[in-house]
Amino acid sequence: MKDIKSQRGVGLVEVMVALLLLAGAVLGFSAMQLSAIKATDESLMRTRAISSIKALSESMRVLPDSSAVYRQQVNTIYTNNKKTDSGYVISDYCTDVTTYKAAAPNCNTTNCSTAQVVKHNVATILESSCKKEIALNIEVCPGTSGINERQCVIASWNQTKPTMNDEKFSCTNVSGAYKPGSACFIMEAY
């Protein structure tokens, strides 16, 4: 009888330890699931960004002598939206894109000059990017100005600005190295 009395509550302790282990496993699984969801979202945004950059790069390639015009047009839209030392908001950028699109000629139904075709293409591509919640910008790639100049097409999302400078929310620093935590993708176009 003495042995049975000393065993009282042991079953309850075993159940509590088992529940504690189970709770730890469930929390670990939940954290892993959240991490997987975040990685999937990031992958989706990168895929969208590559699609947008590819559309813009191919459009530039069709009109090879107009890459500077493309850069100026895309950069103007971003610059109009730029607010110094503030968080970057994609909805503000997309409002400017909508205004730009309304003023662009419709080269699908009328004959257009090269400058008008560029404006039409830029408006169409940027509007499509905004539907994907992506901002685009074009800058001269670091270290390529002059005879071997290449264009860096930058796609960004969330709070990241599509720029290559030392601003707070910029995609990269001035030398082109990605900033930690930035949500962007860059592709060179010739």
State which residues form the domain around 121: 2-189
Give pLDDT, residue 83: 59
From 7-11, 12-16, 19-23, the region with the lowest mean pLDDT: 7-11
pLDDT at 125 over 60: yes
Instruction: Please answer whether residues 67 and 189 qualify as being in contact, where contact means their C-beta atoms are separated by less than 8 angstroms.
Output: yes
Distance CA 171, CA 66 (A): 25
Say what angle helices 90-103 and 114-131 make with each other, to 10 degrees.
150
Rounded to the nearest angstrom, the gap between the alpha carbon of residue 50 and the centroid of all alpha carbons in its chain is: 9
Give pLDDT, residue 13: 81
Split into its structural domains, the chain has a count of 1
Residues facing residue 170 across a β-bridge: 161
Distance CA 184, CA 88 (A): 13
- Cα–Cα distances (Å) from 134 to 46, 68, 184, in that order, read 10, 22, 9
Highest mean pLDDT range out of 40-49, 74-83, 142-151?
Answer: 40-49
Give pLDDT, residue 129: 92
Distance CA 168, CA 87 (A): 8
φ, ψ dihedrals at 180, nearest 5°: -60, 135
Q: What is the pLDDT of residues 68-122, one digit of tens each?
A: 888 888 888 877 666 555 566 788 888 888 888 888 888 888 888 888 888 899 9
Q: Copy the structure tokens of residue 85.
A: 């030392």
Q: Copy the structure tokens of residue 40.
A: 């999937």
Residue 84 per-residue DSSP state = T
Mean pLDDT of 164-189: 88
Say what angle helices 114-131 and 10-62 make with each other, to 10 degrees.
170
